[in-house]
Amino acid sequence: MHVRSAHRSLLVVGSVALDDIDGPFGLHRDLLGGSASFIARAAAYFTRNVAVVGVIGDDFPQRHVDEMVGLGVDVSGIGRTPGETFHWVGRYAPDLATRETLDTRLGVFAQFQPKLNDAHRDAQLVLLGNIDPALQLDVLRQVRAPSLVAADTMNLWIDIKRDELCRTLARVHTLMINDEEARQLAEEHNLRRAAAKILKMGPTSLIIKRGDAGALLFHGGGAFAAPAMPLAEVVDPTGAGDSFAGGLMGYLAYAGDLSPSTIRTAMIMGSVMGSFAVEKFSVDGLRGLTTAQIQQRFDDFAELAHFERVRL
Amino acid sequence: MHVRSAHRSLLVVGSVALDDIDGPFGLHRDLLGGSASFIARAAAYFTRNVAVVGVIGDDFPQRHVDEMVGLGVDVSGIGRTPGETFHWVGRYAPDLATRETLDTRLGVFAQFQPKLNDAHRDAQLVLLGNIDPALQLDVLRQVRAPSLVAADTMNLWIDIKRDELCRTLARVHTLMINDEEARQLAEEHNLRRAAAKILKMGPTSLIIKRGDAGALLFHGGGAFAAPAMPLAEVVDPTGAGDSFAGGLMGYLAYAGDLSPSTIRTAMIMGSVMGSFAVEKFSVDGLRGLTTAQIQQRFDDFAELAHFERVRL
């Protein structure tokens, strides 16, 4: 893998957070979390041209920022302001299949106003993490001519900011959400019909993340199903979807084209990074991976999905 | 497709039933149902060498039997005895994602004792539908030297007849169950670890049916994930798993070998038949299909699952 700065640039706007996570493996406090933390780390395996725009409070450990710098990530867009860092407290069920939010302390994130510098405005790929759709739209007004804008959102915004979200969606190429969010956004249970409705709202492609059921891509050219790797060790599902998005966008920056074939491969690279992420707590599963390990996991996915084409 | 009698023979032992099904599309009474009804119809597209052993009451419409004869199915093992045919009454939730059983009238099925004639005993492939594991074992005592024995089971038998089920599993090559049954049988939530435990109970391969999340194969050679086709029209999920099993076993009889590669392709053929089945009520989705339609749906699955293998 030739990780070089000549790759297309990827701008990530999202949360940088600290998480307290309870569950079958006990309570873990002050874990590094937030969508941008997972996205940037997953993407950095594919390209040195990643920039993060976010906000942290004065309680945020500098070592997490330094680590990103060490990975080649441009952190000039991460502002440190007085106050507490965004803090999420959640608890997973014993089988890790569901979780509940116990507390959300927005802290400095409540006043987050993404400000892009000149280099950020020229980003070719933009990934909008799950933030207020009004802020997502604000970012899209600042970037100049991105070739791909991808975005995530959540049930809260679909519920209380549908109008703003629809305005954002009109300018988003690729929407990445989970199946319940897709159903809620489209007001339609059937995923194929929900996808058709969402593709009329603006995006040219829709990626539906389904956890251990894999991910589906719907676009003009049809559908693609990326399988999920059945893993023997799942420790912490937090950040799986963001790691998926980071791997996907990082691979697109690395590959340098946006063909349907490349997007399919990118979804598998996203699945690879998601599968590494859930095997350990926080971003630990994304730490210290080698190209050989990533290639091996990709090959495992290829083997998992392979079957012979036959003629009856 | 050359459907000919020289294919390996497939013996299906299971229920033949009448179903009353309520749900978002209204109440439908006296629909043809039962595992063997779906299995035999799906398999008959691939081989003329299918035999069914089951039992019906004197209320069972002869036209359903005649239809099977017209498809080349050997119905000499379907006994008609005085009394009511097995009758299942169920209701689907508005989104078709869950169902509840309102009534189960076993009728003549309560006294079902599978009796195999000489031709049946020579079957090369045996598919044991979801019946009492003691009866499944009784069938396995009657067959001579099948090259493949596949079986289904359900939560009820795992609950109340675990010992009998374990004795049956020791003689089954391929177990096909859904994810909740796999978790219950293995007493383990993680599917990969559950599979490893079940493969120690006897089967050399385990197929976990996951509805709209596809199906997983676990065997000594690793894992395979068959995707589910995201369908715009799903009318009646009843029989999807049995249609999957019928397509899979029918294709194995047609292909004439049991290599890992053929089993993967057979799982896709099973997924093809399951996808047709859910598009209409009862066995209607399995009626009147052409080889071209089956091939087209198979090609759609190939397109759904395809991605380029790359080197980083």
Average pLDDT over residues B228-248: 97
Angle at A199 between CA A197 and CA A201, to 5 degrees: 80
Is residue B41 predicted with pLDDT exceeding 70?
A: yes
- The total number of structural domains in chain A stands at 1
pLDDT of residue B4 exceeding 90, the answer is no
In a domain, A282, yes or no: yes
B126-141 exposure pattern, b = at least 16 Cβ within 10 A, e = fewer: bbbbbbbbebbbbbbe
Chain A contact probe: residue of B210, B307, B309 with most A CBs at under 10 A: B307
Give the model's pLDDT for residue B1: 61
Is the CB of residue B30 less than 8 Å from the CB of residue B64?
A: no
Mean pLDDT of chain B: 96
Token pair, residue B245, equals 């099993």
Whether the predicted interface score ipTM is above 0.90: yes
From residue B25, how far is each of A184, B91, B234, B280 by CA, in Å? 22, 11, 11, 11
**In chain B, which residues have their Cβ closer than 8 Å to the Cβ of A303?**
222
Would you state the pLDDT for residue A4?
A: 53
Instruction: Please give the structure tokens belonging to residue B47.
Output: 């081989």
Confidence band for A3, pLDDT divided at 50, 70 and 90: low
Work out the pLDDT band at B244, boundaries 50, 70, 90. very high
CB contact under 8 A, B261 and A231: no
Does the pLDDT at position A221 exceed 80? no
Q: What percent of chain A has pLDDT over 90?
A: 96
pLDDT digits (tens, 9 = 90+) for A258-291: 999 999 999 999 999 999 999 999 999 999 999 9
**A189 touches B at CB < 8 Å:** yes
Give CB contacts under 8 A, 24+ apart, made by A195-200: A195/A223, A195/B230, A196/B232, A198/A169
- Structural contact between residues B123 and B150, judged by C-beta atoms closer than 8 angstroms: no
Cα–Cα dist A21/A38, whole Å: 16
Min Cα–Cα distance to chain A from B63, Å: 29
> Is residue A46 within 8 Å of residue A1, measured between CB atoms?
yes
Which residues of chain A lie closer than 8 angstroms to B96, CB-CB?
A: 189
Say which residue the tokens 């990709």 belong to: A298
Cβ–Cβ of A307/B267 closer than 8 Å?
Answer: yes
Residues B109 and B122: beta-carbon distance below 8 Å: no
- Picking from A196, A268, A312, the nearest residue to B1 by CB comes out as A312
List pLDDT tens digits, range A11-65. Answer: 999 999 999 999 999 999 999 999 999 999 999 999 999 999 999 999 999 999 9
Q: pLDDT by residue (tens digit) across B76-130?
A: 999 999 999 999 999 999 989 899 999 999 999 999 999 999 999 999 999 999 9
- Domain contains A159: yes
Task: Give the model's pLDDT for residue B6.
Answer: 60
End-to-end Cα distance, chain A: 40
Residue of chain B whose Cα is closest to the Cα of A255: B312
pLDDT of residue B221: 75
Nearest-CB residue to A1 (from B230, B295, B312): B312
Interface touch B190/A234, C-beta < 8 Å: yes
Cβ-contact A267, A24 below 8 angstroms: no
- Angle, CA of B284, B288 and B290, to the nearest 5°: 135
A47 to chain B, closest Cα gap in Å: 12
In the predicted structure, residue A255 carries a pLDDT above the cut 70:
yes
Helices (H), chain B: 35-43, 62-70, 118-121, 133-142, 155-160, 162-169, 179-186, 191-199, 240-255, 260-277, 291-305
> How far off is chain B from A34, nearest CA to CA, in Å?
26
| Confidence bin at A220 (pLDDT 50/70/90) | confident
In a domain, B132, yes or no: yes
| Domain-located, residue A205 | yes
DSSP notation for B71-111: TT-EEEEEEE-SSPPPEEEEEE-TTSS-EEEEEEE-GGGGG
Query: Does A102 have pLDDT greater than 70?
Result: yes
**Which residues in chain B touch residue A97, judged by CB atoms under 8 angstroms apart?**
189
* Predicted pLDDT of residue B191: 96
Q: CA B97, CA B186: separation in Å to the nearest integer?
A: 24
Residue range(s) defining the domain that contains residue A153: 10-305
Neighbours of A288 (CB within 10 A): 7
* A-chain residue closest to B232, CA distance: A192
The reply to whether A1 falls in a domain is no
Say yes or no: B287 contacts chain A, CB-CB below 8 A: no
Residue of B nearest to A229 (CA): B225
d(CA A107, CA A91): 20
Residue B261: pLDDT above 80? Answer: yes
What pLDDT score was predicted for residue B7? 75
Task: For residue range A137-153, list pLDDT tens digits in order.
Answer: 999 999 999 999 999 99
Structure tokens at B76: 């000499």
- The answer to whether B130 touches B35, Cβ cutoff 8 Å, is yes
CB B120 within 8 A of CB B77: yes
Do A281 and A29 touch, CB atoms closer than 8 A?
no
Mutate to test the interface with A, among B98, B269, B312 (most CBs of A within 10 A): B312
Assigned domain for B1 exists: no
B98 touches chain A (CB under 8 A): no
Rounded to 10 degrees, the C-alpha dihedral A11/A72/A242/B301 comes to 90
In a domain, A311, yes or no: no
Say whether A80 sits in a helix, a strand or coil: strand
- Give the distance from residue B234's alpha carbon to the nearest chain A alpha carbon, in angstroms: 8
Q: How far is CA B34 from CA A117, B16, B30, B136, B197, in A?
A: 65, 4, 12, 16, 29
Q: Identify residue A268 by its one-letter amino acid code.
A: I
A129 within domain boundaries: yes
Which residues on chain A are in Cβ contact (under 8 Å) with B227? 214, 225, 227, 305
Q: Which of A191, A228, A234 sits opposite B230 (nearest CB)?
A: A191
Handedness of CA B273, B274, B276, B281 (dihedral sign): positive
Helix axes B35-43, B62-70, angle to 10 degrees: 20
Whether A93 contacts chain B with CB within 8 A: no
C-alpha A219/C-alpha A198 separation (Å) is 10
Mean pLDDT, residues A159-185: 97
- Cβ-contact A172, A151 below 8 angstroms: yes
User: What pLDDT shows up at residue A2?
Assistant: 56
- CATH code, domain carrying B242: 3.40.1190.20
Q: To the nearest whole number, what is the mean pLDDT of chain A?
A: 96
